[in-house]
Amino acid sequence: MDYQALLGQIAEDIAPLIGSGTPAEYIPALATVDPNRFGMAIADVDGKVYGVGDWEMPFSAQSVTKVFALALALAEGGPSLWERVGREPSGNPFNSLVQLEYEQGIPRNPFINAGALVVTDRLQTLTGDASSELLEFLKQESGNPELAFDAEVAASEADHGDRNAAVAHFMASYGNIDNPVPALLEHYFWQCSIEMSCADLALAVRFLARHGLRADGTRLLTRSEAKQINAVMMTCGTYDAAGEFAYRVGLPGKSGVGGGIVAVVPGRCTLAVWSPGLDERGNSVAGVAALDRFTTRTGLSVF
């Protein structure tokens, strides 16, 4: 398949949507990002990367990093993680506290903020330095040793992180947080601040298309674990719009409020797309449209 030509066609198809939506205004460091940016990359399972637009420009990965934190927590600590976080769609906004009370501090899934905090807490217990461990993993899988945290974004998130703090303290009151909440929040904000390009993300997430194999050929996850993460991405990866994403795109995907989305075609390739303008549910308007065009033009989906 000529991925490079395909990317050019997709970029042309969705050009009228670039600039649609609104950057994440509640994080001041993200609110000023140019909404007219658009990039898309495809990485095949052997590591060859194709791109269009701003595909090599770093941006704030935000919640896309939750996929990698989950994979590391499972690889390091095994399936006992699922005793502390569920695998069901939430149906509520990603920063909601509503379900936590009547579900006794157990988050609905690992991709809403509450669930991601539990995952980061587990990774912190396992490694002693969750954010640095994650960054090192991303450097290795992307092949980009220059990946780094964005201190401005991390500080901006910390300054406006009251709801995340409330969620973490609430779960701690039910015994579902092991580490001190301030330390956990620090690692979580640093994690979300990691800057990556579409090329970096497409390469880094290949282990899910390679059934658990890392870039160097060693095994990070069993085939079953890789399948499970793909399944949770499909049902929970795009906040409370996961059903719509599955309907339109038909691939496991994970979005972030920085405007990035990763998607996986098991056994074939991975995709990453970036456009900062978000819809009302926090997903990139042009990004979802581009992934929709990919599966429509190629017929590649899990259905």
The catalytic residue positions are: 63, 66, 188, 239, 257
How far is 66 from 110, CA to CA, in rounded Å?
A: 8
SS (H, E, C) the chain: CCHHHHHHHHHHHHHHHCCCCECCCCCHHHHCCCCCCCEEEEEECCCCEEEEECCCCCEECHHHHHHHHHHHHHHHHHHHHHHCCCCCCCCCCCCCCHHHHHCCCCCCCCCCHHHHHHHHHHHHHHHCCHHHHHHHHHHHHHCCCCCECCHHHHHHHHHCCHHHHHHHHHHHHCCCCCCCHHHHHHHHHHHHCCEECHHHHHHHCHHHHCCCECCCCCECCCHHHHHHHHHHHHHHCCHHHHHHHHHHCCCCEEECCCCEEEEEECCCEEEEEECCCECCCCCEHHHHHHHHHHHHHHCCCCC
The C-alpha angle with vertex 3 and arms to 203 and 271, in degrees rounded to 5, equals 35
- Residues pairing with 261 in the sheet: 255, 273
- Separation CA 174–CA 85 (nearest Å): 13
* Residue 64 near residue 254, CB atoms below 8 Å: yes
